[in-house]
A and B are shown apart, each in its own frame.
Chain A
Amino acid sequence: MRNPHGAELFCARTPAWAGRIVLKMAELKLLLEHAHESEFATLRGYVARGGYEGLKAALGMDRQGVIDQIKASGLRGRGGAGFPTWIKWNGIPKEKNGTHYILCNADEGEPGTFKDKQLMEQTPFELIEGMTIAAVATQGDVGYIYIRGEFLDAAKAMRRAIDEAYRDGYLGQNILGSGLNFDLHLHLGAGSYECGEESALMSSLMGERGMPRLKFPHAPLPTIAGLFDRPTVINNVETYCCAPYILKNGGEWYATLGAATKNSRGTKIFSVSGHVNRPGNIEIEFGTSLMELLEMSGGMQGGRLKACVPGGSSVPIINAEACEKAIIGYEEMGDVKTMVGSGGCMFLNDHTCIVKFIWRTALFYARESCGKCTPCREGTKWMLQILTRIVDGKGQPGDDQLLLEICKQIDGRSFCGLGDAAAWPVEAAIRVFPEEFDFYIKNGRSMVETPLMATMSPR
């Protein structure tokens, strides 16, 4: 029970990365370079491996200089939306008249994603340093890391690291003698996917129900009035973790990574899971192909590649044909009608029933919809009811068309992105695998007759 890698006593097979380093030819390890060395999660081990060079570099620059480095690096948010990070940092008022907050979104809830978990467990100081750099750039005073309540191993690792950083003067008053004051707190969620949405996360941190708040153009940007109505920088764990390396090596250097792509720079950690031989986090340079990623994960397990959800459950599903063409990059993935998302890459083999898979996706969104806006609250529920009916063999002719109509009524009409994210997978699945839906609705059973299919829903 107490094994940090999770109770091997009970495990059927050993987790791919547990306790060993798997080197892969095309991997480009930046954030995860030392991840498997337990020393790296200690302050001394981190500093010994080049840690805090980035912060020192940042402290040697003026604030705008730090932001310029981030700008030059072309770093884009790693949480899913891919918004340029420097714009967020640059949006913080330069004239300070009160507290500025540095907020880290560690509410990793996107099904299929587990990169932030590993980063916090194994490279906590990268995150602390990254947030401290953000504090330097934006005159931040207080930081919060909002970790989902289930991630207790990650939270414990972060707590150990933060305490250590406080002890050695890397957090708190007068950091490294530079005059910088930065406090960092942990705040744990309590079970809500919606809190991964940045404004819902702020609601939750402020002690409210985790419902999204009004956004630009309806309300000021969080950089002006975010957490506690104060200027707030909010980024994903992975985004912050990139900052030390950008500051250490220079934004220009970072921008050379992924230069083959249109507008995606640096490395990206993909959480590969599903029917692959070696599931786990893989850090690759933008521009790598999706098939290479599959290769690095040991290839398909138990069958041929049928479909892939490359960026977490919210992004549209693609078939094997599209996988062959897919190049990993924010714009490049758009060419095959999907997205990089948060990097939760699920490969599915040909024993998988797509209808049941989408039914489970719909169940997820129906359960996790916060209920604030009508389209998402009612639409996710309705879609689930229809899909449940189909999976139960009681589909009606026209159900697939009705689902598409409902998707249209949700997509772009909901208050926050969760509604869109609930509609896309359903819409994409019906578009990419229409024959499977047709068959299931007509015959009341799945087109895929495999043992796996039978286990994809409760009896």
Chain B
Amino acid sequence: MSELLQIGAVNERPKPPRAEDLNLRFSDRAVAELEALKTHYPNWKACILPGLWIAQREYGGFLSGEAIAEVAHRLQRSYAEVEGVATFYSMYNTAHVPGKHKIEVCTCLTCQVCGAYPLWEHLKAKLGIGHGETTADGMFTLEEVECLNACDRAPLIQVGDQYIGPLDTAGVDRLLDELRGRSDSTVVQMADVVVQVHLREPERNPT
């Protein structure tokens, strides 16, 4: 924080973007989905969460400031409010650009007593990154997450919309290999699945 104030210093911050300066990036499909969602609730504010999921997909898995501003703009809410919502929930990627695949390792209670930490250490060593970090090639982001509630399959990992477990280190290695071979991003794919399950049959295939 090099902007420490001195007495009498001019301290003006950059302004938030004006509505007309926003570079809106939602695809036609995304706009149609958001319109369909608006009919599910009595007000637009309730669309903030699903709207952010759409944005997470449209912006390649990362909810940047622009993505948040676009959601806020489309739902006529304040930027700060939507940012506050987005940063509250752990599944929105607001901190930094995630890798193509986010490996979420549950280490909570049952997984803990069933050997999650050895898996976690193995992954950290193998990928050379820690919690919340992304590999240099942008392939993997590693996250330690709280209970995924499939404790009968502990220790458990979530990648995209899949729960995988029980796992051992050999399984983890096979998983990494398969993920490296995938062309699509499971982060984006997961956001898409979330959006799709919100929508009713006729809304999913707008014609």
Chain A residues with CB under 8 Å of chain B are 1, 6-7, 9-13, 15-17, 99, 108-114, 117, 148-153, 155-156, 158-159, 162-163, 166-167, 185-193, 204-210, 228, 271-275, 279-281, 309, 313, 344, 346, 348, 352, 356-357, 360-361, 364, 367-368, 370, 452, 455-459
Instruction: Tell whether, in the assembled complex, residue A206 and residue B46 are in contact, meaning their CB atoms are under 8 Å apart.
Output: yes
Q: Chain A contacts of B121 at CB under 8 A?
A: 458-459
Instruction: Tell whether, in the assembled complex, residue B90 and residue A357 are in contact, meaning their CB atoms are under 8 Å apart.
Output: no
Q: Chain A contacts of B152 at CB under 8 A?
A: 15-17, 114, 271-273, 279-281
Q: Chain B contacts of A367 at CB under 8 A?
A: 146
3 A-B pairs closest in CB distance: A191-B90, A190-B89, A191-B91
Instruction: Tell whether, in the assembled complex, residue A153 and residue B48 are in contact, meaning their CB atoms are under 8 Å apart.
Output: no
Most chain B CB within 10 A, of A110, A185, A190, is at A190
Q: Chain B contacts of A360 at CB under 8 A?
A: 107-109, 112
Instruction: Tell whether, in the assembled complex, residue A188 and residue B46 are in contact, meaning their CB atoms are under 8 Å apart.
Output: no
**In residues 11-64 of chain B, which contact A (Cβ within 8 Å)?**
40-43, 45-50, 52-53
**In residues 101-132 of chain B, which contact A (Cβ within 8 Å)?**
107-110, 112-115, 117-118, 120-121
Give B43's nearest chain A residue, CB to CB: A228
Q: Chain B contacts of A114 at CB under 8 A?
A: 149-152
For the complex, what is the distance from the CA of A17 to the CA of B53, rounded to whole Å?
32
For the complex, what is the distance from the CA of A456 to the CA of B119, rounded to whole Å?
11
**In residues 164-200 of chain B, which contact A (Cβ within 8 Å)?**
164-168, 170-172, 174-175, 178, 190, 193-194, 196-198, 200
Q: Chain B contacts of A206 at CB under 8 A?
A: 43, 45-46
Residue B138, interface by CB 8 Å: no
Instruction: Tell whether, in the assembled complex, residue A150 and residue B91 are in contact, meaning their CB atoms are under 8 Å apart.
Output: yes
Residue B162, interface by CB 8 Å: yes
Give A146's nearest chain B residue, CB to CB: B49
Instruction: Tell whether, in the assembled complex, residue A279 and residue B151 are in contact, meaning their CB atoms are under 8 Å apart.
Output: yes
Tell whether A273 pairs with B112 under 8 Å between CB atoms, given A187-B50, A191-B90.
no
Q: Chain A nearest CB: distance from B46 CB in Å?
A: 5
Instruction: Tell whether, in the assembled complex, residue B53 and residue A151 are in contact, meaning their CB atoms are under 8 Å apart.
Output: no
For the complex, what is the distance from the CA of A455 to the CA of B115, rounded to whole Å?
6
Instruction: Tell whether, in the assembled complex, residue B166 and residue A11 are in contact, meaning their CB atoms are under 8 Å apart.
Output: yes
Instruction: Tell whether, in the assembled complex, residue B45 and residue A207 are in contact, meaning their CB atoms are under 8 Å apart.
Output: yes
Instruction: Tell whether, in the assembled complex, residue B114 and residue A189 are in contact, meaning their CB atoms are under 8 Å apart.
Output: no
Give A163's nearest chain B residue, CB to CB: B201
Q: Chain A contacts of B85 at CB under 8 A?
A: 207-209
Instruction: Tell whether, in the assembled complex, residue B50 and residue A364 are in contact, meaning their CB atoms are under 8 Å apart.
Output: no
Q: Chain B contacts of A148 at CB under 8 A?
A: 149
For the complex, what is the distance from the CA of A158 to the CA of B200, rounded to whole Å?
11
Q: Chain A contacts of B48 at CB under 8 A?
A: 207-208
Instruction: Tell whether, in the assembled complex, residue A192 and residue B197 are in contact, meaning their CB atoms are under 8 Å apart.
Output: no
Q: Chain B nearest CB: distance from A329 CB in Å?
A: 23
Instruction: Tell whether, in the assembled complex, residue A187 and residue B49 are in contact, meaning their CB atoms are under 8 Å apart.
Output: yes
Tell whether A152 pairs with B89 under 8 Å between CB atoms, given A112-B151, A228-B42, A344-B151.
no
Instruction: Tell whether, in the assembled complex, residue B148 and residue A185 are in contact, meaning their CB atoms are under 8 Å apart.
Output: no
Q: Chain A contacts of B139 at CB under 8 A?
A: none
For the complex, what is the distance from the CA of A271 to the CA of B194, rounded to whole Å?
25
Tell whether A190 pairs with B90 under 8 Å between CB atoms, given A156-B193, A357-B112.
yes
Q: Chain A contacts of B40 at CB under 8 A?
A: 185, 187
Residue B67, interface by CB 8 Å: no
Q: Chain B contacts of A205 at CB under 8 A?
A: 46, 49
Residue B135, interface by CB 8 Å: no
| Tier of interface size on chain B | 35 or more
Q: Chain A nearest CB: distance from B74 CB in Å?
A: 13
Residue of A117, A186, A346, A457 near B117 (CB, 8 A) is A457
For the complex, what is the distance from the CA of A206 to the CA of B48, rounded to whole Å?
8
Q: Chain B contacts of A17 at CB under 8 A?
A: 152
Tell whether A111 pairs with B110 under 8 Å between CB atoms, given A162-B200, A186-B197, A192-B89.
yes
Tell whether A112 pairs with B110 under 8 Å between CB atoms, given A153-B161, A188-B197, A458-B120.
yes
Q: Chain A contacts of B115 at CB under 8 A?
A: 452, 455
Q: Chain A contacts of B92 at CB under 8 A?
A: 190-191
For the complex, what is the distance from the CA of A374 to the CA of B118, rounded to whole Å?
35
For the complex, what is the distance from the CA of A150 to the CA of B160, rounded to whole Å?
9
Q: Chain B contacts of A9 at CB under 8 A?
A: 174
Residue B84, interface by CB 8 Å: yes
Residue B153, interface by CB 8 Å: yes
Instruction: Tell whether, in the assembled complex, residue A166 and residue B201 are in contact, meaning their CB atoms are under 8 Å apart.
Output: yes
Q: Chain A nearest CB: distance from B183 CB in Å?
A: 13
Instruction: Tell whether, in the assembled complex, residue A346 and residue B171 are in contact, meaning their CB atoms are under 8 Å apart.
Output: no
Residue B68, interface by CB 8 Å: no
Instruction: Tell whether, in the assembled complex, residue A357 and residue B109 are in contact, meaning their CB atoms are under 8 Å apart.
Output: yes
Q: Chain A nearest CB: distance from B119 CB in Å?
A: 9
11 pairs of residues in contact across A and B, judged by CB atoms under 8 Å: A6-B165, A7-B175, A11-B165, A99-B42, A110-B147, A113-B149, A117-B149, A155-B197, A272-B152, A346-B109, A364-B108
Q: Chain A contacts of B75 at CB under 8 A?
A: 207
Q: Chain A nearest CB: distance from B80 CB in Å?
A: 12
Q: Chain A contacts of B163 at CB under 8 A?
A: 6, 150, 153
Q: Chain A contacts of B193 at CB under 8 A?
A: 152, 155-156
Q: Chain A nearest CB: distance from B103 CB in Å?
A: 12
For the complex, what is the distance from the CA of A7 to the CA of B157, rounded to whole Å?
11
Give B84's nearest chain A residue, CB to CB: A209
Instruction: Tell whether, in the assembled complex, residue A357 and residue B162 are in contact, meaning their CB atoms are under 8 Å apart.
Output: no
Instruction: Tell whether, in the assembled complex, residue A10 and residue B174 are in contact, meaning their CB atoms are under 8 Å apart.
Output: yes
For the complex, what is the distance from the CA of A313 to the CA of B165, rounded to whole Å?
21
Q: Chain A contacts of B151 at CB under 8 A?
A: 111-114, 271, 273-274, 279, 344, 346
Instruction: Tell whether, in the assembled complex, residue B153 and residue A111 are in contact, meaning their CB atoms are under 8 Å apart.
Output: no
Tell whether A149 pairs with B91 under 8 Å between CB atoms, given A12-B167, A111-B146, A458-B120.
yes
Residue B142, interface by CB 8 Å: no
Q: Chain B contacts of A152 at CB under 8 A?
A: 161-162, 190, 193-194, 197
Q: Chain B nearest CB: distance from A388 CB in Å?
A: 14
For the complex, what is the distance from the CA of A13 to the CA of B48, rounded to whole Å?
40
Q: Chain A contacts of B174 at CB under 8 A?
A: 9-10
Q: Chain B contacts of A189 at CB under 8 A?
A: 49, 89, 91
Residue B69, interface by CB 8 Å: no
Q: Chain B contacts of A1 at CB under 8 A?
A: 162, 164, 178
